[in-house]
Amino acid sequence: MRERESPKAKRYARLVEQEKPKISLFSNVVRAFVTGGIICLLGETIRTYLLYLGLSQPLAGVWMSISLIFLASFLTGLGVYDEIGRFGGAGSAIPITGFANSIVAPAMEYRSEGAILGLAARLFIIAGPVIVYGLVSATGFGLLRSVFR
Amino acid sequence: MNKTFLLNNVYVEESASVVGPLEGAGPLGDLFDVVIPDIIYGESSFEKAERKMLLESLSLCLKKTNYKPEDIDLVLAGDLLNQLISANFAARELPIAFAGIFGACSAFALSVALGSLLIEGGHFERVIAGACSHHETAERTFRFPTELGVQRAPTAHWTMSGAGTVVLGKQGPVAVKEVTIGRVVDYGIKDASNLGAAMAPAAFDTLNLHLTNLGKRPEDYDLIATGDLGSIGQICLKHLLGDASLSSGNFTDCGLLVYSTAQDIHAGASGCAASACVFASYLYPLLTKGLLKKVLLIATGALFGQTTAQQKDSIPAVAHAVAFEKVG
Amino acid sequence: MNFFWAFIFGGAVCAIGQVILDKTKMTQADLMVVLVVFGSLISALGFYDPLVTRFGAGAMVPVSNFGHTLTQGVIIGYQENGFLGALEGGLGKASAVLGAAIIFGFTMGLLFRPKG
């Protein structure tokens, strides 16, 4: 029985919207800010240390990213990162650590469907789109920039 | 026509339930027959753990009643996974005729309803009806990998891990009196993290049909228990009932009974297990002890799949009503 | 002072992301994709490098930096070797980070079981 377009359904949709518990945007944003800020602060600490060791700016940046990726991968393995994500929301998703989490989580999850079509294939369910859109947009914008500089 | 069947010859003989550790730590924790120590239950995958819970619940039914498999004519069971793998694979271990039932989260009520009609019709002597769900397998099927750091919407349900089964036969302490098989209702809700809102119109439709067909009022039952509408779904249902002047205080929702607020579950428990386990281990004992005389169970199911959700289709829902009555 | 700015800028990007998550129907995956594309755009316009200089890890840690890395690779590759260079350059520059993510992901997937 479809009521999808009927006035009854429209009235109901309004009711649902009205009864939805209001999420506290403020507290969510503050938690995202703090979580994301701390991850970046950690990154800056690692980077400062690497620069202090004498690495060049670009190299320090790459090693910092790799360190954070390792840390996030390990925390995902231990089952901690999803808790951080539940607290921090976008604050834990946006940093490169969230990218690492999005690779490790399906890898672990689909291990039970085999090491090839399970783990390895599903590894990219979220990272895949990020890489695809990243590469396509970078190539597009980068070429435009190079051609029309 | 949309009939409500009146039954005189069908009884619930016994019930059993098996639940996960989180459910065991909830307010009803002590009532369930078995609380498994961890959600993988010694298996190599969550899917295997889910079917093991269903199988254990089925075996418990046999053990409690002292029936042998050959005393059971038919098993009707369902779950949420593709190709009904939990029920089908649990049935693989049983030398009993089996039919898989899909009704999403309404599977338990649908199994009981169909099993009761088969007995009432004189086709079968004794039927076991049940359903199961598992939080991790449902997350994998419908949402994200469990270790992904995502925030759950405040309207989101928590798929309950558990399995509940009942033995239906021709005698027992609780009678199955009325059955209404619901229509599929779609009010155009598309938000898969607000299934309560998608299912409430179905619960209303079936309840309305059931009461109209029988000329009854909600007050004629001691308790009307919806399956897994959750907090938002229940509010929506109450609005719909209010508009039809069917409001009454004797409503509860199985999904809202399973977890405490401290467990931070948001809208409540969902999944086939919610109505199955709560009926098997909470409502059924209340009926046998005579603390409740007449209970109407309306389990709802959201009949969507991951593919339809990705294709942005709205979520159809269904609800089935079964009325139970204490004998004597 | 570097630490302070890294915290503030990184936190601010995440806070804006949270507003988008809560106010629209976008999922986290959508948000990550949008940020990467946005990073590519800002980078091609030449605004990303100043952000890195000013905010350090605050601009380097958010995934938008992945778009920036890819875009700079494309631009430098094109200068050195034309279109072929552009195709090589994008992934070339990001390969260390991508490689690490894939290898760690694979290893952790083998080592750990999901706890739910």
Preferred mutation among C7, C13, C14 to probe A, highest tally of A CBs within 10 A: C14
d(CA C19, CA C22): 5
Preferred mutation among A94, A96, A126, A133 to probe C, highest tally of C CBs within 10 A: A94
Backbone angles phi, psi at B13, to 5 degrees: -85, -40
Categorize the per-residue pLDDT at B233 as very low, low, confident or very high, splitting at 50, 70 and 90.
Answer: very high
Asked whether residue A11 is domain-assigned, the answer is no
Task: Quote the ipTM score.
Answer: 0.94
Q: Are A68 and A39 in contact (CB under 8 A)?
A: yes
Please tell me the predicted confidence (pLDDT) of residue B159.
95
Are B141 and B216 members of one domain? no
Are B23 and B61 members of one domain? yes
Asked whether residue A42 is domain-assigned, the answer is yes
Q: How many Å lie between the alpha carbon of B317 and the closest alpha carbon of chain A?
A: 10
Residue B214 has pLDDT above 80, yes or no: yes
Q: What is the mean pLDDT of residues A90-111?
A: 95
B310 touches chain C (CB under 8 A): no
Q: Do B145 and C114 touch (CB under 8 A)?
A: yes
B197 touches chain A (CB under 8 A): yes
Residue of A nearest to C9 (CA): A37
Chain A residues in contact with B146 (beta carbon < 8 A): 82, 105, 109
Are B204 and B240 members of one domain? yes
What is the bridge-based pairing of β-strands B269-270 and B158-159? parallel
Please tell me the predicted confidence (pLDDT) of residue B1.
66
A147 touches chain B (CB under 8 A): no
Are B95 and B178 members of one domain? no
Asked whether residue A17 is domain-assigned, the answer is no
Residue A4 has pLDDT above 80, yes or no: no
Residue A84 has pLDDT above 90, yes or no: yes
Are B143 and B237 members of one domain? no
Please tell me the predicted confidence (pLDDT) of residue A60.
95
Residues 150-189, chain B, touching A (beta carbon < 8 A): 150-155, 183-189
A36 touches chain C (CB under 8 A): yes
Categorize the per-residue pLDDT at C39 as very low, low, confident or very high, splitting at 50, 70 and 90.
Answer: very high
d(CA B49, CA A23): 34
Preferred mutation among A16, A83, A103 to probe B, highest tally of B CBs within 10 A: A16
Are B202 and B159 members of one domain? no
**Counting beta carbons within 10 angstroms of the beta carbon of residue A79, is it exposed (0 to 12), middle (13 to 18) or buried (19 or more)?**
middle
Q: Domain extents for chain C?
A: 2-111
User: Which residues lie across from B319 on neighbouring strands?
Assistant: B300
Percent of chain C with pLDDT over 70: 99
Backbone angles phi, psi at A101, to 5 degrees: -60, -40
> Which candidate from C11, C102, C104 shows the least CB-CB separation from A37?
C11
Categorize the per-residue pLDDT at C104 as very low, low, confident or very high, splitting at 50, 70 and 90.
Answer: very high
- At A142 the three-state DSSP class reads helix
Are B257 and B139 members of one domain? no
**Number of compact structural domains in chain A:** 1
Residue B205 has pLDDT above 90, yes or no: yes
d(CA B244, CA A116): 56
Residues 26-85, chain C, touching A (beta carbon < 8 A): 28-29, 31-33, 35-37, 39-41, 43-46, 52, 56-58, 60-67, 70-75, 78-79, 83
DSSP B110: H
d(CA A91, CA B295): 47
**Number of compact structural domains in chain B:** 2
Our measurement of the distance from residue B132's CA atom to the centroid of its chain's CA atoms, rounded to an integer in Å, reads: 8
Categorize the per-residue pLDDT at C116 as very low, low, confident or very high, splitting at 50, 70 and 90.
Answer: low
Residue B249 has pLDDT above 90, yes or no: no
Are B273 and B130 members of one domain? no
Q: In terms of residue numbers, what domain contains A93?
A: 24-147
Please tell me the predicted confidence (pLDDT) of residue B248.
83
Q: B277-302: per-residue pLDDT in tens? A: 999 999 999 999 999 999 999 999 99
B235 touches chain A (CB under 8 A): yes
Query: How many CB atoms neighbour CB B95 within 10 A?
Result: 10
> Which candidate from B147, B201, B231 shows the least CB-CB separation from A105?
B147
Q: In terms of residue numbers, what domain contains B58?
A: 4-169
Are B9 and B59 members of one domain? yes
Our measurement of the distance from residue B286's CA atom to the centroid of its chain's CA atoms, rounded to an integer in Å, reads: 17
Q: What is the mean pLDDT of residues C49-63?
A: 95
Q: Is the model more confident about C25 or about C12?
A: C12
Residue B180 has pLDDT above 70, yes or no: yes
Categorize the per-residue pLDDT at B121 as very low, low, confident or very high, splitting at 50, 70 and 90.
Answer: very high
Categorize the per-residue pLDDT at B140 as very low, low, confident or very high, splitting at 50, 70 and 90.
Answer: confident
Chain A residues in contact with C61 (beta carbon < 8 A): 39-40, 43, 64-65, 68, 95-97
Q: Of B116, B151, B169, which residue constitutes the final position of a domain?
A: B169
Please tell me the predicted confidence (pLDDT) of residue B84.
96
- List chains touching A (3+ CB pairs under 8 A): B, C
> Which candidate from A32, A130, A140 shows the least CB-CB separation from C15?
A32
Preferred mutation among C23, C24, C115 to probe B, highest tally of B CBs within 10 A: C115
Q: Of B106, B140, B169, which residue constitutes the final position of a domain?
A: B169
Q: What is the CATH number of the domain that holds B316?
A: 3.40.47.40
Residue B71 has pLDDT above 80, yes or no: yes
Are B207 and B63 members of one domain? no
C64: closest CA among C87, C43, C80? C43
Are B185 and B293 members of one domain? yes
Q: Which of B226-246 are b and which e, b meaning 16 or more Cβ less than 10 Å from the residue's Cβ?
A: bbbbbbbbbbbbbbbbeeeeb
Q: Do B146 and C114 touch (CB under 8 A)?
A: yes
Are B216 and B148 members of one domain? no
Categorize the per-residue pLDDT at B197 as very low, low, confident or very high, splitting at 50, 70 and 90.
Answer: very high
Asked whether residue A126 is domain-assigned, the answer is yes
Categorize the per-residue pLDDT at C37 as very low, low, confident or very high, splitting at 50, 70 and 90.
Answer: very high
- Which region among B89-93, B190-194, B270-274, B293-297 has the lowest average model confidence (pLDDT)? B190-194
Q: Do A43 and C14 touch (CB under 8 A)?
A: no
Asked whether residue A18 is domain-assigned, the answer is no
Q: Are B230 and B270 in contact (CB under 8 A)?
A: yes
Q: Is the model more confident about A21 or about B111?
A: B111
Q: How many Å lie between the alpha carbon of A131 and the closest alpha carbon of chain B?
A: 18
Q: What is the mean pLDDT of residues C50-72?
A: 96
Whole-number average pLDDT of chain A = 93
Residue C113 has pLDDT above 80, yes or no: yes
Cα–Cα distance list, B273 to B152, B159, B234 (Å): 20, 8, 18
B145 touches chain C (CB under 8 A): yes
